[in-house]
């Protein structure tokens, strides 16, 4: 009986050892099989861009006055700015298209002493008729007189969404063309897209600098052209 129990114990130990060995050998085989079934991929970047003519202008203008007394400098600035705003309204500029961009009061120093104060009031004006830009600049300069400051002109498009739709189609088409060429060069068949991401949405705008010191008639202003672009990153599967 004792001999039989010893044999039984040995058999159980051998069985446990055998099961452990089989389990250990099966796991790596399963992992290897999973890796071998993974699809290959082709990753590409497509770019799209369109050139458009701007239909709006963002004009940075205002007035700047200087006086030994802050109150007097403020009054000069306020009076001149009121004249400019009235002129803009007469030119058909809507209130919603005018936004204050800067208002500052700064001391003017000379030999470590404050000799006067400079007050500046700037606004950004959206001009929806680009053909009227020169006349509007001229009118604003006359209204503000020698205190007028026109410091920046930027052209853009009021609604870029339709252009982005076109640019997006071009970018995806460019990515697809690149992926198909890579698949052909490597003798594989291109599958469907696995992942798609968009980046680099960009509108290049025409910018200029214009500072009015003397009124000399309506200046010639040209909006030129601008570029809208974006890129897409697409990963395609490779069919077996």
Q: Any idea how long the chain is?
A: 240
pTM of the model: 0.69
How high is the pLDDT of residue 2?
Answer: 52
Beta strands 56-67; 148-156: pairing state: antiparallel
Task: Return the domain boundaries, the chain.
Answer: 1-38, 41-51+161-205+227-239, 54-157+208-224
Backbone angles phi, psi at 176, to 5 degrees: -60, -40
SS3 content of the chain, % helix, strand, coil (to 5): 40, 40, 20
CATH number for the domain formed by residue range(s) 54-157+208-224 = 3.30.70.2970
Any idea which architecture 41-51+161-205+227-239 has in CATH? Answer: 2-Layer Sandwich (3.30)
The neighbour count for residue 203, using CB atoms within 10 Å, is 17
Angle at 217 (CA atoms; ends 213, 219), nearest 5 degrees = 80
What six digits make up the tokens of 24? Answer: 């250990």
How high is the pLDDT of residue 240?
Answer: 73
Angle at 211 (CA atoms; ends 210, 215), nearest 5 degrees = 105
From first to last of the 240 residues of the chain, give the pLDDT tens digit. 555 455 554 554 555 554 444 343 333 322 222 333 456 999 999 999 999 999 999 999 999 999 999 999 999 999 999 999 999 999 999 999 999 999 999 999 999 999 999 999 999 999 999 999 999 999 999 999 999 999 999 999 999 999 999 999 999 999 999 999 999 999 999 999 999 999 877 666 555 444 444 445 667 888 889 999 999 999 999 997
**Nearest in space to 121 (alpha carbons), one of 69, 67, 85, 68:** 85
* In contact, 133 and 59? CB cutoff 8 Å: yes
DSSP E strand boundaries for the chain: 41-52, 56-67, 98-110, 113-127, 148-156, 189-204, 207-208, 226-239
Rg, C-alpha atoms of the chain: 36
Q: Which residues pair with 119 in a beta bridge?
A: 65, 105
């Amino acid at each position: 009986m004792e001999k039989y129990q010893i044999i039984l114990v040995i058999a159980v130990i051998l069985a446990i050892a055998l099961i452990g060995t089989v389990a250990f050998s099966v796991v790596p085989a399963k992992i290897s099989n999973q890796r071998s079934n993974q699809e290959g991929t082709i990753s590409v970047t497509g770019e799209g861009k369109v050139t458009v003519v701007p239909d709006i202008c963002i004009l940075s203008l205002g007035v700047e006055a200087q006086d030994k007394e802050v109150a007097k400098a403020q009054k000069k600035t306020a009076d001149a700015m009121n004249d400019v705003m009235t002129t803009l309204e007469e030119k058909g500029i809507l209130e919603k298209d005018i936004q204050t961009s800067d208002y500052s009061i700064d001391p003017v120093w000379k030999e470590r002493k404050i000799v006067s104060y400079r007050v500046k009031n700037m606004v950004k004006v959206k001009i929806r008729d680009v053909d009227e830009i020169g006349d509007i600049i001229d009118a604003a300069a006359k209204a503000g007189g020698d205190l007028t400051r026109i410091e920046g002109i930027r052209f853009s498009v009021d609604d870029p969404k339709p252009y982005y739709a076109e640019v997006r189609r071009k970018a995806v088409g460019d990515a697809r063309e690149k992926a198909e060429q890579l698949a052909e060069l490597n003798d594989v068949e291109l599958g469907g897209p696995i992942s798609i991401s968009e980046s680099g949405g960009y509108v290049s705008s025409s910018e200029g600098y214009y500072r009015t010191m003397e009124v000399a008639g309506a200046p010639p202003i040209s909006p030129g052209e601008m570029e809208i672009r974006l890129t897409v990153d697409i990963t395609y599967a490779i069919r077996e």
